[in-house]
Amino acid sequence: MTPRIPAPCHHELRPGTKVCLHCRRAEREATAARHRTILVRIGLTAVVIGACAFAGTSGLAAWKNRSTSGLTRLIASPGSLEAAPVRALTGAPADSAAVAPTALPQSAPLAPSASPVAPPVAPPVAPSVAQSLQPIVAQGRTELQNGMYALRAGDTVTVHFDTPEARTRRPEKFEQIIRSTLPGVHGPAADSLLAAIATGTLVGPTELVTDQLAISLRAVDGRSLSLWPQTRPGRDGPLVIGYRVTPAR
């Protein structure tokens, strides 16, 4: 290794002095400047690496938590209709031919909310009114939004949503899926029935959503739809993976 040759000194040395203090000071300042430059470069490199790591972590978390994706197939087993407790919901009619609601007598007892309600008997309605709640999807399979699909057999339609993002056991999420898909199956009449029912009351917040729960959407003019959740066993209990809907007869 070649020894470092000191720079020639242009200062005037004092008597009895062999080392120039000015040169030493200049050398110390130059060394400190080099050290500061190295530290600044190391700091900038650390900042860039940290920013890249943060961006990568944020992007991975956003990708894992993306909202919805394509939905896959499921096989729904029909539940017993006769033994199913019914949640009857009445909404205002959508057209001018709707009948005004009839007030209950003050002496009429109210059933407790926790007790199962017997399936209501739909009053006779005109054929044109009943026809308005017929499914608007074709027989067989019809693709819905976000990858959901419906299978129609006669007047009965089963909507399937068995995916990690859609299947649920929470009543409020099941209600959201009904509100977003039922109008696409039964048209504007179903949309009007749902619009007349307050959000959060379609399925009770404390109700256990199983295939034994029946929901009746009824307008005061006699039109109604009967709906049953479709479930399958899950790791922590039954999971709702679809629902079956049909006009009440």
CA 85/CA 118 separation, integer angstroms: 6
pLDDT string in tens for the chain (249-residue length): 565 566 677 666 666 666 777 788 888 898 999 999 999 999 999 999 999 999 988 888 888 776 444 444 433 444 433 344 455 565 544 443 343 444 444 444 444 444 444 544 444 434 444 447 889 999 999 998 887 899 999 999 999 998 888 888 888 999 999 999 999 999 888 888 898 888 888 887 777 788 778 888 887 777 789 999 999 888 888 899 899 999 986
Alpha-carbon Rg for the chain, nearest whole angstrom, is 37
Check: CB of residue 178 under 8 Å from CB of residue 227: yes
Check: CB of residue 25 under 8 Å from CB of residue 11: no
The owner of tokens 């909507």 is 159
Q: What is the pTM of this model?
A: 0.47
CA distances from 196 to 56, 107, 120, 169 (A): 46, 26, 19, 25
- Relative to beta strand 214-219, strand 86-91 is parallel
